[in-house]
Amino acid sequence: MKRRFGSHATVMRLLGPSDRDTLLDFFKSHTRETIHLRYGYELSHLTEARAAELVGVDQSKDAAIGIFETGEPVPLVAIGRYCLKPDNRSAEVAFVVREDRRRLGIATALLSALLSIAASRGLETLDAQVLRENQPMLEIFFGLGGVKSAIPGTDSVTVTIDIRKALHNLGRRKSR
Ligand SMILES: CC(C)(COP(=O)(O)OP(=O)(O)OC[C@H]1O[C@@H](n2cnc3c(N)ncnc32)[C@H](O)[C@@H]1OP(=O)(O)O)[C@@H](O)C(=O)NCCC(=O)NCCS
For residues 28 and 175, the model is more confident at 28
How far the first Cα of the chain sits from its last, in Å, is: 23
Cα Dmax for the chain = 45
Q: In the chain, what are the domain boundaries?
A: 2-174
Look at residue 35 in the predicted model and tell me its pLDDT.
93
Q: Is 106 in the pocket of ligand 1 (CB under 6 A)?
A: yes
Look at residue 44 in the predicted model and tell me its pLDDT.
82
Task: With CA atoms as reference, report the closest residue to 163 among 131, 117, 130, 96.
Answer: 117
Side chain identity, residue 112: S
In which band, very low, low, confident or very high, does the pLDDT at 33 lie, cut at 50, 70 and 90? Answer: very high
* Domain spanning 2-174: CATH superfamily: Gcn5-related N-acetyltransferase (GNAT) (3.40.630.30)
b/e map of 88-109 (b: 16 or more CB within 10 Å)? eebbebbbbbbeebeebebbbb
**Structure confidence by residue, pLDDT tens digits, 123-170:** 999 999 999 999 999 999 999 999 999 999 999 999 999 999 999 998
For atom 33 of ligand 1, which residue has the closest CA? 103
Residue 173 has pLDDT above 90, yes or no: no
Tell which atom from ligand 1 comes closest to the C-alpha of 104: 11
Look at residue 172 in the predicted model and tell me its pLDDT.
83
Ligand 1 center from residue 96 Cα (angstroms): 9
**Structure confidence by residue, pLDDT tens digits, 89-119:** 999 999 999 999 999 999 999 999 999 999 9
What is the total residue count of the chain? 176
Ligand 1 center from residue 103 Cα (angstroms): 6
Look at residue 111 in the predicted model and tell me its pLDDT.
96
**Structure confidence by residue, pLDDT tens digits, 40-91:** 877 888 999 999 999 999 999 999 999 999 988 899 999 999 999 999 999 9
Ligand 1 center from residue 104 Cα (angstroms): 9
Look at residue 175 in the predicted model and tell me its pLDDT.
73
